Amino acid sequence: MGLSKEELLEKSGKLYDIEHIRKDFPILKQTVHGKPLVYLDNAASTQKPQTVINALTDYYSSYNANIHRGIHTLAEKATSAFELTRETLKLFINAPSVEQIIFTKGTTEGINLVASSYGRQNIKKGDEIIVSGLEHHSNMVPWQMLAVEKGAFVKIIPVNNAGDLIMEEYEKLLSDRTKIVAVNHVSNTLGTVNPVKEIISLAHKKEAKVLIDGAQAASHLDIDVQDLDADFYVLSGHKLYGPTGIGILYGKKEILEAMPPYQGGGEMIREVSYEKCSFNELPYKFEAGTPNIADTVALKYAIEYLDKLGKASIRAHENNLLQYTTEQLKHIDGLKIVGTAKQKVSIISFSIEGIHHQDIGILLDQHGIAIRTGHHCTQPLMGRFNITGTSRASFALYNTIEEADKLIAGINKAIKMLR
Amino acid sequence: MPTIKEIQDTIIDEFSLFDDSEDKYQYIIDLGNKLSPFDTKYKIPENEIKGCQSKVWLNSSLKDNKVFFEADSDGKIAKGVISILVRILSGQEPEEIVSNELYFIDKAGLNTLLSMNRANGLASMVKQMKLHALAYKTKLESKK
Ligand SMILES: Cc1ncc(COP(=O)(O)O)c(C=O)c1O
């Protein structure tokens, strides 16, 4: 435990050239309140490399056109760029085919799509939906709404003091009444990496379908939906160095084919008369209306950026930051790390005795340090730990050990002001 | 008792002594630390001011046709901010509280300090105190 800073720097330096990487992210160059920006709110949204920003301006400056139905050159160019992203994402999560990649606004929309379409079709009175105690409101509220509508029940997998799901309790919750299990791959508040493969396989024994919320996993872990055997997998582009307003829903083909459309409109139909219509095939059945073309096109560049660095190197780098920062935080009097799961990504939530997280956040901002404070859209989880919120620092591929040091110094200074 | 305007001007003067925003925060925190103790029996959901991450409680009473505020917060900065508002508004007549503009927020540079969603907390505090005053004002007028 606890490598020295020098050892860490050397280890990280061998992984990749961090100074070079930081230059790819123009936003990082700025100062905030006269101090260099230290951006540690990556779990909320990551910054974008220049290639992604260029892709956006390039799209609007040279080939903006509505896709699919056009026969002119720009429309074809836009369509092919748009579809290329689908191809890239298919590889990114190892989906068997491109038509299983459905573009959404993001994770939240993906979950709502499944809850509305698959859920309404398949959930009956008395059925059970299992979610975990670690869920973001996005993976809780749509299921609660569905349950209320159908007279079904939402059951919660409890969380232990370390922030791990209690798997024995999960097994006890599973029954023939279980129809859907929805859990996150990684907790946005605690950083816990959940044993989703095991969760899926146990659910499948009861013939329940499983949705994995990959919002926090996609930028850190290798995603292989086939190996996981996930029925649905959702993620957001903006959390993996891509634009806002674009994400994907992956689903197993036979499930997606049997599902009714989510929204009606253009693009999702095959034929329409005044009396009826027939629906388009996958994935267009679920993509009504003109999609978010520009952001979809640019998302490909984010994935390519990640692939170029390699998730393994990114993970190693982020893990160094996680270990180092965790170790340093432990030395701060009265500071408690919330979430000490066996397997974590580079997300650290903490609380400090007698000090409100909002005060920490405001004072760190004075040093140009951006963290997130509050309940992180996981109010039930906060209740589980008897707190109203935490301060959360989350690290990305471009963060440095020096930034971790600034965070620690900033916290120490804030504590001095507040006590 | 100085007027709302006079107290605001004093506060603007005090804040003008600091040019570093961190020092301004320290001053706000110190002011909060000096706020008179708040009876825990008033720490009830009905007295909570919505709109800030920190919990803020506000209670008021009318004595000799003047409104007296007491407040507390679980956040030090929020407590400092509400303490400034209490200092300005407590002991004033309802009509004065309702009609006076709180220009010190801009003039003392607190708007940038407590910017954006944090300012919502400040705005909700002001709104809530004015609402209390308005209720007393209506009550007094109906007695006339
Ligand atoms: C675990 C998790 N699920 C869902 C979401 C919602 O994602 P989005 O707002 O991009 O739809 C988030 C975002 O914070 C998240 O962290």
- pLDDT band at residue A124 under the 50/70/90 scheme: very high
Q: What pLDDT does residue B109 have?
A: 85
The average pLDDT across A114-123 equals 98
Q: What ranges make up the beta strands (E) of A158-290?
A: 178-184, 209-213, 232-236, 247-251, 269-272, 277-279
Q: What is the mean pLDDT of chain B?
A: 91
| Domain ranges within chain A, ordered by starting residue | 5-42+311-418, 53-307
Distance CA B56, CA B79 (A): 7
- Of A42, A104, A377, the residue with max ligand 1 atoms within 8 A of its CB, to mutate for a pocket test, comes to A377
Q: How many helices (H) and strands (E) does chain A have?
A: 16, 17
Q: Angle, nearest 10°, between helix axes A311-330 and A401-418? A: 30
Q: What is the mean pLDDT of chain A?
A: 95
Cα B81–chain centre separation: 6
B22 contacts in chain A (CB < 8 Å)? 363, 366, 417
* CA distances, A71 to each of A77, A99, A291, A373 (Å): 10, 22, 18, 50
If one counts the domains in chain B, the total is: 1
* Residue B45: count of CB within 10 angstroms of its CB: 8
Out of A33, A358, A363, closest to residue B54 by CB: A358
Distance CA A292, CA A127 (A): 36
Query: What pLDDT, in 10s, does the model give residues B66-82?
Result: 999 999 999 999 999 99
With a cut of 60, say whether residue B115 has pLDDT above it: no
Instruction: Please state which of the ranges A153-157, A183-187, B44-48 shows the lowest mean pLDDT.
Output: B44-48
Enter the tokens of residue A155.
């059951």
Q: What pLDDT does residue B118 have?
A: 59
The model carries a pTM of: 0.94
Q: What pLDDT does residue B116 have?
A: 46
Q: Is B26 on the interface with A (CB under 8 A)?
A: yes
Q: Per CATH, is A5-42+311-418 categorized as 3.60.15.10? A: no
Residue A396, classified by CB atoms within 10 Å of its CB into exposed (0-12), middle (13-18) or buried (19+), is buried
Structural domain for B37, as ranges: 4-143
Cα B125–chain centre separation: 6
Q: What pLDDT does residue B119 have?
A: 53
Cα A91–chain centre separation: 18
A373 contacts in chain B (CB < 8 Å)? 53
**Nearest C-alpha neighbor of A297 from the set A86, A28, A49:** A86
Query: What pLDDT, in 10s, does the model give residues A13-43?
Result: 677 899 999 999 999 999 999 999 999 999 9
Supply the ipTM of this predicted assembly: 0.90
> The domain A53-307: what is its CATH number?
3.40.640.10
With a cut of 70, say whether residue A250 has pLDDT above it: yes
Q: What ranges make up the beta strands (E) of chain B?
A: 56-63, 66-73
Give the residue from B48, B53, B73, B114 with the most A CB atoms within 10 Å of its CB, the best one to mutate: B53
Query: What pLDDT, in 10s, does the model give residues A289-308?
Result: 999 999 999 999 999 999 99
Query: What pLDDT, in 10s, does the model give residues A53-99?
Result: 999 999 999 999 999 888 899 999 999 999 999 999 999 999 999 99
Distance CA B40, CA B55 (A): 13
Distance CA B72, CA A386 (A): 21
